[in-house]
């Protein structure tokens, strides 16, 4: 059989395959360069960047939970100017698509960051993170269709890059937020970000996390994330990027069959640094076995 076609399009951006490494789990790629071939990945989403440097939340920041992980990093980063100065040189050396995640506490800051990135040729797309659950105010823009649309519209006005809006599951109806982002000019939506959660030390009678609340990720959230992706894919015309508890190629295929054009993998990168290439290989093997020539044949093919 001819090699299966794994190429997918996210707005105007074509990826060699649908496997993307998620923001906050892969640094800016350089941290993993000796562990796997970065040029085989569909895309790298960088750690979320803010306008100015952020120290993040107080420790402890990460704890293991049954079938998952709670993190409360708090968007620690060196700011957009340091990112451009220190990270772009390495990113210029790789062929994989680069999607930069941006975060902010106000709409003007989102626009300023996006405006700076719009001038950087190596940046292939922008993921607008309106959904971080472990930063005070971080969910404000993801909660309502109007506020989500306002952020997207402001960024769209200053950037020609493909825009991906990252949605929160901690809302009443995620499909409403997705449709609002689409109407405001987003080229795709990615979902879901982590679920707000917490853990308590019963001996100390204190929160285990320094910030009390963190974001739950990992296999524990997969069934809910999968349902949200399926519901959203039926409501929007733009590509949906699915994520949430993907640990192997079978999980990735579930999201694709549910309607995702591509997937992002996050927590698994801490367990298996080579997970991205393993999942790509697994998808290709499955397609050969099932005699599927194009990944698009699988997208949204769920029988109900």
Whether 301 is catalytic is no
CA 76 to chain CA centroid, Å, is 17
Is 199 exposed, middle or buried, given 0-12, 13-18 or 19+ CB atoms closer than 10 A? middle
Catalytic residue among 132, 152, 283, 287: 132
| Contact yes or no for 233/247 (Cβ under 8 A) | no
Catalytically active residues are 132
């Amino acid at each position: 059989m001819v090699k299966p076609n794994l190429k997918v399009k996210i707005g105007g951006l074509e990826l060699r395959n649908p496997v993307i490494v998620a923001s906050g789990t892969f640094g800016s790629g350089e941290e993993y360069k000796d562990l796997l071939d970065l040029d085989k990945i569909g895309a790298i989403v960088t750690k979320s960047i803010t306008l100015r440097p952020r120290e993040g939340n107080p420790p402890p920041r990460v704890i293991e939970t049954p079938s998952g992980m709670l993190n409360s990093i708090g968007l620690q980063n060196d700011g957009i100017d340091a990112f451009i100065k220190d990270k772009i040189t390495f990113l210029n050396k790789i062929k994989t698509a680069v999607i930069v995640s941006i975060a902010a506490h106000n709409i003007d800051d989102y626009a300023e960051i996006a405006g700076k990135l719009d001038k950087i040729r190596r940046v292939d797309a922008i993921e607008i993170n309106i959904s971080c659950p472990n930063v005070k105010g971080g969910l404000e823009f993801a909660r309502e269709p109007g506020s989500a649309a306002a952020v997207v519209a402001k960024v769209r006005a200053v950037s020609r890059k493909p825009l991906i809006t990252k949605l929160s599951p901690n809302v009443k109806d995620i499909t409403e937020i997705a449709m609002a982002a689409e109407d405001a000019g987003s080229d795709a939506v990615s979902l879901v970000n982590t679920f707000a959660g917490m853990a308590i030390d019963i001996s100390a009678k204190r929160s285990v996390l320094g910030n009390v609340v963190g974001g739950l990720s990992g296999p524990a959230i997969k069934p809910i994330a999968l349902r949200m992706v399926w519901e959203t894919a039926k409501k929007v015309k733009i590509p949906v990027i699915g994520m949430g508890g993907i640990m192997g190629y079978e999980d990735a295929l579930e999201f694709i069959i549910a309607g995702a054009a591509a997937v992002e993998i996050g927590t698994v990168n801490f367990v298996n640094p080579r997970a991205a290439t393993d999942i790509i290989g697994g998808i290709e093997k499955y397609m050969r076995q099932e005699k599927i020539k194009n990944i698009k044949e699988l997208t949204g093919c769920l029988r109900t």
